Homo-oligomer: A and B are copies of this chain.
Amino acid sequence: MVAPPLIPGLAPGVLLFGLMPTETSQATDVRILRDKAARLRIDSVLSTTEAGSGHPTSCASAAEIVSVLFYSVMRYDPHDPRNPWSDVFVLSKGHAAPILYAAWAEAGLFPRERLLTLRRLDSDLEGHPTPRLPFVDVATGSLGQGLSAAAGIALHAQLADSGQRVYALLGDGESAEGSVWEAAEWVGHRGLSNVCATIDINRLGQSEPTMLEHHMEIYKARWEAFGWQALVVDGHSIPALLAAYGQASLTTDRPTVILARTIKGKDFPDIEGKEGWHGKALDKEMAAKVVAHLEGELTGVEKNWQPRLPAARPGAGKDGSAATKPASAPKPPYRLGGKPLAARRGFGDALAALAKTDPRIVALDGDVKNSTYTEEFQTQAPGRFFQGYIAEQNMLGMAMGLAARGHVPFASTFACFLTRAADFIRMAAISNLYLKLAGTHVGVSIGEDGPSQMGLEDLAMICAQPDFTCLYPADATSAWAATGLIAAETGPGYIRLGRPNAPILYGPEETFAIGKCKVLRRGEKDRALVVAAGVTVFEALAAYDELAKQGIAIRVIDLFSVQPIDRAELAASAHAAGGIVITVEDHYAHGGLGDSVLAALAAERVKVVKLAVREIAHSGKEAELLERFGISAAHIVRAVHANIG
C-alpha cells in the first residue's frame, strides 16, 4: 500500500480513501498510462488544429482520467465496441469528443490518421459524439445528459445480468445543470453501484470560472448527500485515479463519483490553467510547440498495453433487449357502443398487454402512473417498470440509455411536462433512439386544472424533430392500436392522448397504420373537409350531424397519424370537398395538426381554415372550454358556413 497522494489546496478533512495497486504493477501500469495520456493529448491537439476548431483544453484536463479508464480500468473489446459484456463509457462532456475518438483509435478500433477528419462533413468524427459511431450510445454535447443515459445503461446491465459497469465522464461546468442532480438522486436512491461517474473539475467554464471552482469539499458534500460514495482525487495523478476506481469497483451498495481536481489545458505550455482558452483550437505554430513538449514525455512503453477483454456472460439479452422483433399486439378489448373510455386508458391497457408479449418493452413514469394508466404495466411487469418520480429529464435520459441497449422504453407523463425534457427529446432525435413517449392530458379539454396542466405545444415540440412518429388517437381502440404501432416502429415515436372519456369509435377489427388517416364521413357532394384528431373528432362528427340537418354535406377525417401524414388522402379529400379544408385541434395554432395539414397541402392551392387554441387557456369545464377557445362543433359549423360561399 502506498499512501494516497496529497492534493494541493484541498480543504482539511477531505481525504482520498482508496486502495492502491502493488508498487511493482503500479510502476509498470503508471508508465504505460502516463504515455497514453500524453498520446491522447497529442491527438486532441492535432485533430482540433487540423479542423480549425474544437476544445483541446477540455480534453487535456481529462487525459489521465481517460487513459486510466480506457487502458486499465474498463473491460472491453477494442475491436467490437457493441460487445454486450463490455463496460461502457459515456462522455457526458461531449465537447471533449476529440479525446474520446483518440482513445478508441489508440485502443486500435480505427487508424489514428482518421482523427484528422474531425468535424468534417464526410466524417462521423463530429464536433460532438453521436451514435453514428459504434462506440457512442447517445449523442452528447448538450451538457448534463450523460449521467441519466449511464443510469439507463446500468439498469440494462442489471436486468440483463451482463456484469457491465458504466463509466460516465462529466465536466464541472455541466454539474450546474439540474438534470445532473436528477440523475444523481435517482441513481443514489436506487443504489446503482455499477455506475461510476467522474467529474473533470478543471475550474474553468466557457466564459468564466465555474460556480464552485476547486472547492472539492462542496462537491463531496453534495454527492454524498445524494447517496454516492464520493472520492476526491488529483485528476492528473494516475496512481490516485487507479486507487479511486479500484475502490469504486469494490463498492456494491451505492454508486461512486470520482471528483477529479484537474487543470484545464493541463500540460499545454503557456496555456494550462488560463482563462480564455475554452473551445479554441491551437494555431499550427502553437500546436507544434505543444506537441513537441508532449512527445518529449513519451517513453515508448505504452506499446506494451493489452486490453482487458470482457468475460462473456450468458445473461446478456435475457432481459428482452436482444429480442429484435416485436411480438404482435393482441386485439383491443373494446366494443363499439361500449362504455366511454379515455384514450389514455387505451394506451395503458395496451402497454400492459404488450408487457406480456414483448420483452423488449420497459416503462418509465414521472409519478403520474395512476393518470396515464401505466400502473397496469407495473402490475404486469414490475421489474421492467421504473418510477422516475417528478424528474422528467432524468426519466427521458434513462430511457435513452435503455433504448441504446436494445430495450423499447415507453416514458410517459402529462404532455405538458414532456416540455420539461424538450432538450432530451432533441438529443434522442439526434441519437435516433427507439424512444417512445406518451403524453396524456392534452389540450383545454382537460378542464378544471387550468393552463399549467394542458399540453398545448407538444406537437410543435415533437413533430419538429425529424423522424419522430406522432400519433394522436381519438378513442381507446385507436390508442391501443397506436401503442402497438409505435412499439413496433424503428425510431422515436410519440402518442398524444386526451384526458376525457370518449365513446368507442372503432371496433376491435379496425386496422390502423402509421401515415394513414381514417375518413369517417364521406359523400358525393361534400362541400368542405374537416380534419380533426383526438377530442375534436367528436366535435367534427357533431358538426357533421348538425350540418346534415341543414342539408350541407362535409367530409370528416380523423387524422390519427400527424407525422408522417397521409398526404395522398388529404389532398384527394380536399379536392373532392371543393378545396375547402377546416382543421380543428386541441393544441395551440402554431406547430400543431393544422400546420401539418397545411404543409401537406402546400402545393394544392386549396383554402385552409385553422381552428386552434389561440390564447392562454383557463380553468373550466371541458365543453365550456372547447366552445370558449374556438374548437367546438359550433365553431366548426360556423367555419363551414363562412367558407363554403
**Which A residues form the contact surface with B (CB < 8 A)?**
51-54, 94, 119-121, 123, 126-128, 130, 139-144, 173-174, 176-182, 185-186, 189, 205-208, 210-212, 218, 221-222, 224-227, 365, 367-371, 375, 387, 389-391, 393-394, 416-417, 419-420, 422-423, 426-427, 429-430, 432, 447-453, 456-457, 460-461, 463-467, 563, 579, 588-592, 594-596, 598-599, 602-610, 613-616, 618-621, 624-625, 628
- Whether A419 contacts B423 by the Cβ 8 Å rule is yes
7 residue pairs from A and B, CB less than 8 Å apart: A128-B451, A143-B390, A173-B367, A176-B389, A205-B367, A457-B461, A598-B602
- Whether B127 contacts A429 by the Cβ 8 Å rule is no
Name the residue on B nearest A619 (C-beta). B126
| Complex interface: chain B residues within 8 A of A180 (CB) | 178
| Complex interface: chain B residues within 8 A of A222 (CB) | 222, 225-226
Given contacts A119-B619, A224-B221, contact A419 B422 (CB under 8 A): yes
19 new A-B pairs (CB below 8 Å) besides A457-B465, A466-B613? A119-B449, A120-B619, A126-B618, A127-B453, A128-B452, A130-B452, A143-B390, A207-B371, A208-B369, A208-B387, A429-B616, A463-B590, A464-B592, A590-B591, A590-B595, A590-B599, A594-B599, A602-B608, A603-B609
Looking at the assembled complex, report how far the CB atom of A333 sits from the nearest CB atom of chain B, in whole angstroms: 24
Given contacts A119-B619, A590-B464, A595-B599, contact A142 B452 (CB under 8 A): yes
**How distant is the Cα of A144 from the Cα of B423 in the complex, in angstroms?**
17
**How distant is the Cα of A225 from the Cα of B217 in the complex, in angstroms?**
9
Partner of A206, one of B368, B448, B624: B368
| Complex interface: chain B residues within 8 A of A368 (CB) | 206-207
Looking at the assembled complex, report how far the CB atom of A286 sits from the nearest CB atom of chain B, in whole angstroms: 19
Looking at the assembled complex, report how far the CB atom of A50 sits from the nearest CB atom of chain B, in whole angstroms: 11
- Whether A448 contacts B602 by the Cβ 8 Å rule is no
Given contacts A387-B208, A390-B144, contact A121 B620 (CB under 8 A): yes
Partner of A598, one of B139, B467, B595, B628: B595
Partner of A599, one of B205, B369, B452, B589: B589
Q: Which 9 A-B pairs have the closest CB atoms?
A: A178-B178, A141-B452, A121-B620, A591-B591, A422-B422, A127-B450, A460-B464, A181-B181, A126-B619
| Complex interface: chain B residues within 8 A of A614 (CB) | 466
Partner of A615, one of B207, B466, B603: B466
- Whether B430 contacts A426 by the Cβ 8 Å rule is no
| Complex interface: chain B residues within 8 A of A419 (CB) | 422-423, 426
- Whether A121 contacts B590 by the Cβ 8 Å rule is no
- Whether A140 contacts B423 by the Cβ 8 Å rule is no
Looking at the assembled complex, report how far the CB atom of A140 sits from the nearest CB atom of chain B, in whole angstroms: 7
Name the residue on B nearest A628 (C-beta). B121
Given contacts A53-B449, A449-B128, A450-B141, contact A460 B591 (CB under 8 A): yes
**How distant is the Cα of A226 from the Cα of B121 in the complex, in angstroms?**
43
Name, among A174, A419, A579, A590, the residue most crowded by chain B CB atoms within 10 Å (CB to CB).
A590
Looking at the assembled complex, report how far the CB atom of A413 sits from the nearest CB atom of chain B, in whole angstroms: 11
- Whether A420 contacts B142 by the Cβ 8 Å rule is yes
**How distant is the Cα of A430 from the Cα of B615 in the complex, in angstroms?**
9
| Complex interface: chain B residues within 8 A of A370 (CB) | 206-207
| Complex interface: chain B residues within 8 A of A464 (CB) | 456-457, 460-461, 588, 590-592
Name the residue on B nearest A144 (C-beta). B390
| Complex interface: chain B residues within 8 A of A212 (CB) | 189
Looking at the assembled complex, report how far the CB atom of A208 sits from the nearest CB atom of chain B, in whole angstroms: 7
**How distant is the Cα of A92 from the Cα of B120 in the complex, in angstroms?**
47
- Whether A178 contacts B174 by the Cβ 8 Å rule is no
